[in-house]
Amino acid sequence: MEGKEIAKNHDSDGDEERYYVKRNCYGQAQMERSTKLLSKYWNQRLLWSMKFNEPTKPSISEVHKWLTSSVIGENTTLFRNIGNLTALLICGDLIEAGILEMPTALEWGGLIYSLRMGAKDGMNLLGLTSQKSSKSEVSQAFASLDAALQCELEEEEKATMNYNVIMLEHALCKIKRLTSRGVALKEIYAQIL
């Protein structure tokens, strides 16, 4: 089914729109998030093929920048309603799907620093970094946390949770989210230790 048909079918039923679109799933409400954008995304599908069928695979940073970049012209984005966080999550999905290479912890930590969102806040809460930490310090702290977990977790545990740096970034975001909803850090520690 083409993007226009999908969007048309969902426009007629508010329940379906609410089922597929949660405007505040990443915190602040995204009022433009809608299935009405499906036809626009569908029309841009060939851009993805061109990007990923190049002789050399793009880096994570290149893909993140591409997803959030503006088209030549005023205030026009290449992909509507894809900001820094959504772009990072898409990169994570492309990595998990094997389309992009798994980044190093230092590389993923650099993106965490650039976003300055949940994972960075989670690292601050755990005392691994501070608000004033540089990109290098955040990247190194993230890499150190990853190295510690790689040593502490049994291979079976890592396999069960599909542990990698993408999953670690998600977990740090959840720590921030839980504390913002009133869960004490000691309660979080009790669950993960």
Q: Where are the domains of the chain?
A: 1-43, 45-101, 105-192
pLDDT higher for 62 or 42?
62
* 164-185 mean pLDDT: 91
- CA–CA distance, 121 with 128 (Å, rounded to integer): 10
DSSP state, 55? Answer: S
Residue that is written with structure tokens 């030549």 in the block? 72
Percent of the chain clearing pLDDT 70 (strictly above)? 79
The dihedrals phi and psi of 95, each to the nearest 5 degrees, come to -70, -50
DSSP state, 126? Answer: T
Of the spans 74-78, 132-136, 187-191, which averages the highest pLDDT?
132-136
Return the pLDDT at 1.
44
Q: What is the rounded average pLDDT for all residues in the chain?
A: 82
Query: 0.85 cut: is pTM over it?
Result: no
- Give which of 116, 83, 96 is closest to 165, Cα–Cα: 96
Counting other chains too, the contacts that 147-152 makes at CB distance below 8 Å and 24 or more residues apart are 147/105
